[in-house]
Amino acid sequence: MPRKSSPSSPSTNQTEFAFQAPAPADTLEGGIPNTALAFWDWTRPVLDNAVAHLVKGWTGGELDLSSTLIIVPTAESGRRLKQALARHAATLGGAAVVPHVWPPEMALLVPQDRRVVASALQSLLAWARVMGALRLADYAALFPHPPEQQDNAWCLSTAAMLQDLSTTLGAGGGTFASVAAETIAGEEMERWRDLAKLERLYLKALAKHQLSDAQTLKAARAAAPWLPERVERVCVLAAPDLPPLITRWVKAVAQRAPVMIGIQAPASLADAFDACGRPLPEFWQRVDALPPPLDAEQIHIAHDATKQAEKLVELLAELAPSGQTALGVCDAEVTARVKEKLAMEDVHVFEPGGVPPQSLGLWHVLQCCRDLVATGSWSSLAALLRVPEVRTALAGTGEGSGMGLLRAADDLAAKSMPVTLEHALELMKAPLQDEPATARDASTKCLGEVLNAALSLVESFNKQPLPEAVRGLLLRLYGERVFTPTSPEDRCHLELADAVLEMADTVAEEAQRFGFKIVGSEAFALVLQRVGEGSVTEPRGEVDLVLQGWLELLWESAPCVVIAGMNEENVPGILISHPFLPDGLREKLGLPCQASRFARDAYLLHAMAHQRNSNSSFHVICGQWSERGDTLRPSRLLFRCPDAELPARVGLLFPGEESAHQQSEPARSLAWQLVPRRAELAALQTISPSRIKDYLQCPFRYYLSHGLRMSSVDAGKREMGANDFGDLIHVAMQRLAEDPEAAASMEEKVIADFLEAAARRTAHARYGKRLPMLVRLQLESAVQRLRAAAAYEAQSRTDGWRIAQAEVVLGDDKDEHPLLISGARLRGKIDRVEHRHSGGRVDVRLIDFKTSDKVDTPVKAHIKVLSGRAKLRDGDEWKCFTNAAGKDCQWLDLQLPLYAAAMAVRGTTEASVGYFLMPKGVQDTTLEEWQDFDATTMQAALDCAAEVVRRINDGIFWPPAKVKFDAYEALLLGDAQAAVKNVFAA
């Protein structure tokens, strides 16, 4: 693996340009008068070919190219060309003067045009102003179903759509009016005529402020090009993705100066390119037109972004001895993983295109602030409180702040699910009915102060002018933080903050100019939208590797290249059709379309492969899954091979289940292992059935939950969790048992009405007077279940069963006859004990309420029979016993047997046990008793429980079990043994 650059080991982007003049290019007369097509040897780097052409005839001294205008694909390729020319000139003791190296956009918008052209924001606001003043009834073909409100949100979203449509058409010099003049039949013609009328209003709105539309200016400049003084020739170099409008520009320029178009391909492929060097779809779509660009050995399949990054780094290490290696990444998900992997190897990488704002922590804070000032939502504040700097800014450093504040917020979210800031304050002020009020600690008090501060912030933000509001927000949150200019991360954050402040000033100024009234949270959302569409310039500094995008790689001279993210979604990519501009119409209008995109990328793959001198120096990596779990498709370009090889290629690109399983890994990087604190746990004084179940399921997760007291909190949840929902029903059933009249009733309706009222009271006490929508729906579900349960309650009373006790607490300080398990008292709560007098004896049954949607009998919930497919995991023998039928069984849960044992200690023997099942399907409501439950089963459960207590006291919390989905899934990455260091080893 390469390390930091040194004089003896230059990095890829710092390598001296070793120029070797290639063989003379094959030059053909172009299809445009006064143009020539120079076909280069594509087995040599583009830079070699470009420099050789530009220095032809130069023998030394100053290399003066001030009479040459050079068009290159991108600004990065222009930078590389200038460096290469300077290095070549230096080899003969001279210097290079190269003043005119332009990307295509500079040819279409020259400096004098940029003084009058409307910016993207000005264009958007002009469109939005037009839409706001529009009488939609006059545009029935375009808006057959007008919006209910012609508000700012609608105006801006429609303006963005029209702006995008105008830009797409403008790439080919088209306008709404020009499309309306085409032969388009029926309703489409009327729609385009309406669009043309809107276009005229938009252009008029710009002209009112002495501004010109960018697309109009580009079309005008293409017809009448501007050339710098002294320019006598124009060279368009290896630019296969030129906008269609450049063809007009070349035709007009060629009337004044000769134009050379350099194409990185041999002259034998002259029929494969158009007059400006763009690949022609009719040639490049033919699989048999050229030999396949890649062999199977050059294609690698990886399960996800993490595996792609690992494979890329692996190939980089393998290829490093052979010379320079360039990296290309076509997928943003993979970029993040590659940077992470290389950072672990102390390799500094640079992205020429800049860093997306969305990858910075400040962007997350700004997004949450946007939501907070727009909606006053609790979830946005809860997310902000997780950022230490923001938490300190809102709460200070006094008593109750810090992690205590975060715990208080999480507790409120888990218990009461606030929706808005006002709702949260309401819930904090009103203690739960029927529950004892608890003393409020400093953190709870601090949370109330933070809520009031957040409400004040929202109110003041929406009242202030936008620039002052945004500046005040950033100062409030980050005013005390010290930023280090030499830190790349801090520099990126400072640049993002500056961009946001500058855009806030610009939005306020331009909105006022165009008379578009947008303030407060709406204006702030527009600011972030515009900033988010750009990038943050990362300081290049000393770097080891450059992460290049697909279009940059043609100009890469490194002898070895590895490209990740070669999926259909990225290369050739999927052009999403505009609602007014389907792909067929794009193609008809000569605009970039699926066919032209495919031709471009098929050419690029061939050209890049031909520049490398062996198969071992060019590799591509294709992913199978995205981080969201979506299936990724291999790029169509990877199927370019002879028909005889196609089955094997398909097998390679779509590995079977066994291969996929071997490659599978969660889409996260094991950049570190979790090293849990080794806590010295005191001997158990109490143990509950739920804790025993946790240990039976996984001893390591038990340690995290009960030893280290780790738990996850969903601070933004909008509905009751399974425990919350079950507790709501439990409280209603408890209230029934506590009311003598209702508990003794045999009338279903009386019981049902009582249970419903109890559930509604509890829900409103916990979640406020105005219940969140999802909670209301869940409450109605709970009511349905309770009313269905009322029928069984009434029938039980008729059958002679009476509620003897409810919520029976076991093992607390008041328990005079606790059940001891290896010295630990059993702690728990029996939902209900019922008695029935029959023939001089008293029957007893212990009932546990179950509200899960999955209906399991008590036997299935507690025991797994080890037969057939049910296999025993190594080390789990101690969980097993033999039942009365002689079958080997494994304990999954001990709840009901331990409850029976606890009641036996109290003198209640031979009690039956069962579940009162209240699932989502109310037709399945029933009381399910454990058939054949006996003293032998109870004793086996006691033996297993004793072993659990012994193991916990002995500190046995390893190995972890494989659990598919649980609260620790994100932390343990699906494989606890790989993700966690075993700190329990002797």
- In the three-class reduction of DSSP (H, G, I as helix; E, B as strand; rest coil), residue 489 is classed as helix
Least confident of 320-334, 520-534, 751-765: 320-334
The radius of gyration of the chain's CA atoms, rounded to the nearest angstrom, is 36
Average pLDDT for 512-522: 92
Is the pLDDT confidence value at 968 over 90?
no
Strands 299-302 and 259-263: unpaired
In terms of phi and psi (left: phi > 0; alpha: psi -120 to 50; beta: otherwise), the region of 231 is beta
- pLDDT of 151 higher than 50: yes
Cα 304 to Cα 56, 309, 632, distances in angstroms: 48, 9, 9
Give the sheet arrangement for strand 863-865, strand by strand.
863-865, 888-891, 880-882
Question: Omega of the bond prior to 959 within 30 degrees of 0, cis?
Answer: yes
Surface-to-core class of residue 185, CB atoms within 10 Å of its CB (0-12 exposed, 13-18 middle, 19+ buried): exposed
Phi, psi of 96 (to 5 degrees): -110, 130
- Secondary structure of residue 162 in the 3-state scheme: helix
Reported confidence tier of residue 183, pLDDT bands at 50, 70, 90 = low
7 pLDDT exceeds 60?
Answer: no
Distance separating alpha carbons of residues 244 and 592, to the nearest angstrom: 8
DSSP 11: -
Q: Is the pLDDT confidence value at 194 over 90?
A: yes
Mean pLDDT, residues 434-455:
76
Tell me the pLDDT tens digit for each residue of 767-780.
888 888 889 999 99
Q: Is 75 helix (H, G, I), strand (E, B) or coil?
A: helix
Q: Are 316 and 327 in contact (CB under 8 A)?
A: yes
**Which residues face 68 on adjacent strands?**
233
pLDDT tens digits, 872-891: 777 899 999 998 888 899 99
Tokens of 489: 């991360």
CB 171 within 8 A of CB 244: yes
Measure Cα distances from 849 to 93, 281, 692, 808, 828 in Å. 90, 67, 19, 13, 14
Distance CA 791, CA 219 (A): 78
Q: Please say whether the dihedral angle defined by the alpha carbons of residues 319, 325, 331 and 336, taken in this order, is positive or negative.
A: positive
Distances (CA, A) of 833 to 803, 829, 830, 939: 6, 11, 7, 21
For residue 677, what is the DSSP state? Answer: -
Identify the CA nearest to 104 among candidates 239, 276, 291: 239
Whole-model pTM over 0.85? no
Query: d(Cα 481, Cα 152) in Å, to the nearest integer?
Result: 36
Band of pLDDT at residue 802, cut at 50, 70 and 90? very high
pLDDT digits (tens, 9 = 90+) for 374-388: 999 999 999 999 998
Q: Measured between alpha carbons, how far is residue 505 from residues 363, 464, 469, 499, 634 in Å?
A: 18, 13, 11, 10, 45
In this prediction, residue 674 has a pLDDT band, given cuts at 50, 70 and 90, of confident
What share of the chain has pLDDT > 90, as a percent?
Answer: 65
**For position 385, what pLDDT does the model report?**
92
**CA 277/CA 282 separation, integer angstroms:** 14
Helices 466-478 & 361-375 angle (0-180, nearest 10):
120
Reading phi first (left if > 0) and then psi (alpha if -120 to 50, else beta), residue 416 is in alpha
Side-chain-side CA neighbours of residue 968 (13 Å):
21
**Whether pLDDT at 434 is above 70:** no
Cβ atoms of 561 and 361 within 8 Å: the answer is: no
DSSP class of 271:
G
Q: Where are the beta strands (DSSP E) in 272-352?
A: 299-302, 325-329, 349-350
CA dist 620 and 605 (Å) reads 10
Beta-strand pair 96-97/63-64? parallel
The residue written with tokens 């490093």 in the block is 320
**Residue written as tokens 């178009």?**
261
Alpha-carbon distance 12 to 9, whole Å?
10
pLDDT at 715: 64
Contact (CB, 8 A) for 789 and 918: yes
Which tokens is 838 given? Answer: 């029959």
Average pLDDT, the chain: 88
- Please list, in sequence order, all residues whose beta carbon lies within 8 angstroms of the beta carbon of residue 685, skipping any fewer than 6 positions away: 824, 825
Place of tokens 């041999």: 266
CA dist., res. 500 & res. 471, Å (int)? 9
Tell me how far apart the alpha carbons of residues 587 and 760 are, in angstroms, rounded to a whole number. 61
> Which position has the token pair 């105006």?
155
Looking at residue 351, what is its pLDDT?
82
Is the confidence at residue 666, as pLDDT, over 50?
A: no
Q: How confident is the model at residue 781 (pLDDT cuts 50, 70, 90)?
A: very high
| Nearest residue to 518 (alpha-carbon basis) of 457, 469, 475, 456 | 469
Tell which wins on pLDDT, 303 or 429.
303
Tokens of 264: 């990185």
300 pLDDT higher than 90: yes
Q: Please, what is the Cα angle at 564 between 563 and 566, to 5 degrees?
A: 95
Among the ranges given (244-253, 346-355, 387-396, 517-526), the one the predictor scored with the smallest mean pLDDT: 346-355
pLDDT at 540 over 50: yes
CA distance 131 to 156: 8
pLDDT band at residue 717 under the 50/70/90 scheme: confident
